[in-house]
């Protein structure tokens, strides 16, 4: 794995980039939009984004990652080969083994997993984003035994995390009630609007908001 050198005095956040190249997924969009701005807002923090490279697709994945990256100097994209396993097992290995090792290797001050998949072994303070608990609460989304085992696993690992981010007050209540997480560990950070959609062009509406 590529060695990362933190800038003197800079904090380092290791980021799980499993969904970085999957913009059709909500978690991929969430990660892209946040990393377009977070490095600029936290200039003294280094963001090490670990992006999985799938066998036979390394060059395309790497080029796609670079083309979608923020131009911030403190965002470091680290393409990382996946183990040769079926996709679901490779994803589990990535989450539970490769990412914790990457965080330790980069001497990260924080490991951030931007979707519900914190590792069991957490070599540094860990934050996980849980958008919702539909795979736990809604029967139609519970899946078979393997899916239910996975949901139980990430429910357990979430309780071990130092902080949980979620995108709504309803989500926060569900996390506290159904995962048994202390409320002080759960932080609501609402999703924002896309910069294009957020532009208000109607002068009357703009004035109403300002007044």
- Structural domains of the chain, ranges and CATH numbers in brackets: 11-210 (3.40.50.2000)
pLDDT of residue 66: 53
Q: What is the mean pLDDT of each run of 10 residues along the chain (211 residues)?
A: 50 96 87 90 93 66 50 90 94 98 96 97 98 95 95 97 97 97 96 71 79 75
Are 38 and 134 in contact by the 8 Å Cβ rule? The answer is: no
pLDDT of residue 205: 78
Residues across the chain: 211
What are the two backbone dihedrals, phi and then psi, of residue 35, each rounded to the nearest 5 degrees? -80, -5
pLDDT of residue 49: 97
pLDDT of residue 47: 96
pLDDT of residue 119: 98
Q: Which of 36, 108, 44 is nearest to 72 (CA)?
A: 36
Q: Determine which helix (DSSP H) or strand (DSSP E) holds 14, and give its type and residue range.
A: strand 11-16
Token pair recorded at residue 163: 């902080």
Are 94 and 118 in contact by the 8 Å Cβ rule? The answer is: no
What are the two backbone dihedrals, phi and then psi, of residue 188, each rounded to the nearest 5 degrees? -90, 120
Token pair recorded at residue 63: 């080029």
Going through 123-200 in order, the beta strands assigned E by DSSP cover 126-129, 163-166, 186-188
Q: Determine the Cα–Cα distance for residues 179 and 132; give it in Å rounded to an integer.
A: 12
Q: Give the predicted TM-score (pTM) of the model.
A: 0.82
Q: Determine which helix (DSSP H) or strand (DSSP E) holds 72, and give its type and residue range.
A: none
């Amino acid at each position: 794995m590529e060695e990362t050198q933190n800038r003197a005095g800079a904090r380092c956040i290791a980021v799980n980039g499993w969904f970085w190249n999957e913009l059709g997924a909500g978690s991929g969009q969430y990660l892209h939009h946040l990393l377009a701005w977070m490095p600029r807002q936290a200039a003294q923090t280094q963001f090490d984004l670990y992006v999985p490279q799938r066998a036979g697709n390394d060059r395309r994945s790497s080029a796609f990652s670079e083309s979608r990256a923020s131009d911030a100097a403190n965002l470091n994209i680290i393409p990382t080969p996946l183990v040769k396993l079926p996709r679901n097992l490779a994803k589990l290995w990535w989450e539970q083994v490769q990412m914790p090792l990457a965080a330790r290797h980069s001497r990260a001050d924080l490991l951030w997993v931007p979707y519900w998949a914190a590792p069991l072994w957490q070599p540094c303070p860990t934050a996980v984003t849980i958008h919702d608990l539909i795979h736990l609460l809604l029967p139609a989304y519970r899946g078979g035994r393997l899916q239910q085992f996975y949901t139980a696993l990430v429910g357990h690992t979430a309780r071990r995390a130092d902080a949980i981010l979620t995108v709504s007050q309803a989500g926060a209540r569900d996390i506290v009630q159904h995962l048994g997480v202390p409320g002080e560990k759960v932080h609501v950070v609402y999703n924002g609007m896309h910069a294009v959609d957020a532009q208000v062009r109607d002068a009357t509406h703009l004035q109403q908001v300002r007044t």
